[in-house]
Amino acid sequence: MPPRRVLILGATSAIAQAVARRYAQGGARLALVARNRQYLDVVAADLRIRGASALWTEVADFLELERHAALVDRAQQALGGLDIALVAHGVLPLQAEALADSRIAGLCWQTNFVSAASLLEAVGQRMEEAGRGTLGVLSSVAGDRGRAENYVYGASKAALNAYAGGLGQRLAKKGVRVVTVKPGPVATPMTAGRMRRPGLLSDVDEVARRIHRGLEAGWPVVYAPAYWRLVMTILKLLPTRIFERLRG
């Protein structure tokens, strides 16, 4: 099998790095895009040592939506086509700060939903033209039902789920799969010291293994770890009166 051609948008996120490591070990050709050059270079060097057969990097601020189309074109050209793309960037604001300052909430929605949806569309259209490819997006279990603890963040992911679901339905007829990834809380720098029960954080490598499998198989929705599917199914079905009595 020729090496996989994989584009990762938001390549310095901890989960994205863990997924990229798995592809690098398999000798993939990787295109990595992130905001910070210094971080991106360290990640790229690591992936090269781990076995990536080609590496292309570019620095971008995803809030500049008008640049998305050209960015994806360059990546596609550098890789010689796209087998897999993963939209992985996102921010987790402190809920209290986001409630007190709507600019913080707005930036969260801009980043997690608006820019992610724009990138999904840009990649999706190119995969549609090629008639093949798998397009993954890192969402979250927090998007399945708004909870008091994190509904600012959760709302951005809920919107993303709707977008990815619709895009997936549209592209299914064109040979393109859209994979919505919903990790539970993962032990990463984004969550360090911020969880009420750090014991419930999942290991990032375990989550990445699941995501890698879901991308390769083209599953429409990937919960990572898998047990979150059951947890969220129950939580979604819970009548509101009961849900409201639960702790955050």
Partner 1 sequence: MAPGETAGPSSWGRYPHVDQRALALAWASDPLPEGTEPLLPYGLGRSYGDVCLNPDGPVLLTRELRRFLAFDTQAGVLRCEAGCTLGEVAELTLPHRWFPPVVPGTRFVTVGGAVANDVHGKNHHRAGTFGRHVRALELLRGDGTRVVCGPSANTDLFRATVGGLGLTGLITWVELQLASVMGPWMEVEAVPFSGLDRFAELTATSDQTHAYTVAWVDGLARGTALGRGIFFRGNHAEGGGDLPAPRLRLSVPFDAPDALLSAPLIRAFNAVYRHWPRGGTKRLSTWKFLHPLDAVGNWNRLYGSRGLLQHQSVVPGPEAVQELLATAADSGQGSFLTVLKTFSDVPSPGLLSFPRPGWTLALDFPGRGAPTFALLEKLDGVVRAHGGRVYPAKDARMSVDTFRAGYPEWRAFAAHVDARFSSGFWRRVRGEL
Angle, helices 14-25 vs 37-50, to 10°: value is: 30
The interface mask with partner 1, positions 107-136, x = CB under 8 A, is ------------------------------
- Each as own residue / partner, the long-range contacts of residues 48-52 (CB below 8 Å, 24 or more positions apart, any chain) are 48/24, 50/21, 50/24, 50/25, 51/24, 51/25, 51/26, 51/27, 52/23, 52/24, 52/27, 52/28
Residue 226 burial (10 A CB sphere; 0-12, 13-18, 19+): exposed
Task: Please choose, from the candidates 113, 120, 232, the residue with its C-alpha nearest in 3D space to the C-alpha of residue 178.
Answer: 120
23, 151, 153, 223: the catalytic one is: 153
Nearer to partner 1, 50 or 147 (CB): 50
By CB under 8 A, is residue 248 in contact with partner 1? no
Least Cβ distance, residue 14 to partner 1 (angstroms) = 6
By CB under 8 A, is residue 247 in contact with partner 1? no
Q: How many helices (H) and strands (E) does the chain have?
A: 10, 7
Least Cβ distance, residue 230 to partner 1 (angstroms) = 17
- Interface with partner 1 (CB under 8 A), residue from 103, 193, 237, 248: 193
Nearer to partner 1, 162 or 190 (CB): 190
- Interface with partner 1 (CB under 8 A), residue from 46, 58, 121, 216: 46
- Interface with partner 1 (CB under 8 A), residue from 63, 70, 148, 192: 192
SS3 label, residue 159: helix
223 belongs to the catalytic site: no
Q: Enumerate binding residues for partner 1 (CB under 8 A).
A: 14, 38-39, 42-43, 45-46, 49-50, 187-189, 192-193, 196-199
Q: Which residues are catalytic?
A: 153
